[in-house]
């Protein structure tokens, strides 16, 4: 029975994935059985499709189904989920950003799984001073012994491995560093860089004012979107690093507004 259902469909996987997302966008949520019937494929195929869409950050899995997440500007994956999304693209971005770091630099790694990959890529560099409010970056990366890692004070935000609050912002306002590697939940040509969480958006804005150079490191899935809280304008960025999956139209928009756009 399942084989007959599979053979009845003619969609290639990429087309089917888009149709699954469109179904979830229209209905908000769906069971695996509903999606399998709609796409005329087996439930095991739909499960594999949903796993791919979760890794791409396009949906959220639920018990027995999935929900569409792009309709909400306030939704944010917990840290463990983010670690699994678009990991290869993030590694390439991290390697490119590492080329911007020299031994002896003072820099700030913003919170996030992309900046975590930057930290991994610069771990062997010497005599760095690395500031961060991301506890995973501070505790899970094996930086060279000559590097000093400074964790800002603050209140831990559960499930996101960061510290936030007035203590964090106070320290940021009193330091200066060569380079900020900034992360983002959303990037829009008009609205600029934005974030889903108010405390982190406030920290990011202050970081931009304390940095000698601001490098935005974000994978292509973040572009063409607007989140709840604005962080900065695109004109505030000195460099943008993203991956080659960026839509050509969005690429052209960014190229017109950003001083240094790097595609990896």
Q: What is the pLDDT of residue 159?
A: 66
Among residues 247, 220, 47, 64, the alpha carbon closest in space to that of 17 is found at 47
48: three-class secondary structure by DSSP: helix
User: Which strands make up the sheet holding 59-62, listed edge to edge?
Assistant: 29-31, 65-68, 59-62
Angle between helix axes 43-55 and 32-39 (nearest 10 degrees) is 110
Q: What is the pLDDT of residue 29?
A: 78
CA distance 76 to 69: 9
CA distance 8 to 2: 10
Task: Give per-residue pLDDT as tens, 70-93.
Answer: 544 444 555 555 555 678 899 999
Contact 215, 258 (CB under 8 A): no
Q: What is the pLDDT of residue 82?
A: 59
Give the pairing of strands 261-263 and 239-242: parallel
Q: What is the pLDDT of residue 5?
A: 41
Q: What is the pLDDT of residue 129?
A: 98
Neighbours of 180 (CB within 10 A): 26
Token representation of residue 156: 């831990």
DSSP 186-244: EEETTTEEEES-HHHHHHHHHHHHHEEEEEEE--GGGBT---SEEEE-GGG-SEEEE-T
Token representation of residue 252: 């052209």
Neighbours of 28 (CB within 10 A): 9
Token representation of residue 56: 């791409």
Report CA dihedral (213, 105, 97, 145) to the nearest 10 degrees. -150
Among residues 120, 59, 57, the alpha carbon closest in space to that of 46 is found at 59
Q: What is the pLDDT of residue 1?
A: 39
Q: What is the pLDDT of residue 157?
A: 81
Q: Which residues of the chain have pLDDT under 70?
A: 1-12, 69-85, 159
Among residues 178, 183, 153, the alpha carbon closest in space to that of 165 is found at 153
């Amino acid at each position: 029975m399942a084989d007959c259902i599979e053979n009845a469909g003619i969609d290639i996987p990429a087309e089917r994935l888009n149709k699954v997302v469109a179904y979830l966008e229209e209905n908000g949520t769906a069971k695996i059985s509903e999606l399998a019937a709609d796409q005329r494929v087996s439930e095991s195929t739909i499960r594999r499709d949903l796993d791919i869409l979760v890794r791409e950050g396009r949906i959220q899995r639920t018990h027995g189904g999935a929900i569409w997440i792009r309709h909400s500007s306030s939704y944010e994956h917990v840290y463990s989920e983010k670690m699994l999304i678009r990991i290869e693209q993030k590694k390439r971005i991290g390697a490119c950003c590492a080329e911007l770091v020299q031994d002896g630099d003072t820099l700030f790694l913003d919170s996030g799984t992309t900046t975590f990959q930057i930290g991994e890529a610069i771990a062997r560099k010497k005599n760095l001073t690395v500031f961060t409010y991301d506890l995973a970056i501070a505790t899970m990366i094996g930086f060279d012994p000559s590097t000093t890692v400074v964790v800002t004070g603050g209140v831990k935000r559960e499930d996101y491995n960061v510290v936030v609050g007035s203590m964090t912002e106070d320290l940021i306002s009193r330091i200066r560093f060569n380079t900020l590697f900034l992360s983002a939940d959303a990037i829009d040509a008009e609205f600029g860089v934005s974030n889903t969480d108010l405390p982190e958006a406030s920290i990011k804005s202050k970081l931009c004012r304390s940095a000698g150079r601001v490098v935005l490191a974000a994978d292509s899935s973040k572009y063409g979107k607007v989140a709840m809280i604005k962080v900065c304008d695109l004109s505030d960025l000195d460099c943008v690093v993203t991956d080659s999956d960026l839509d050509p139209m969005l690429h052209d928009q960014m190229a017109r507004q950003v001083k240094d756009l790097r595609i990896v």
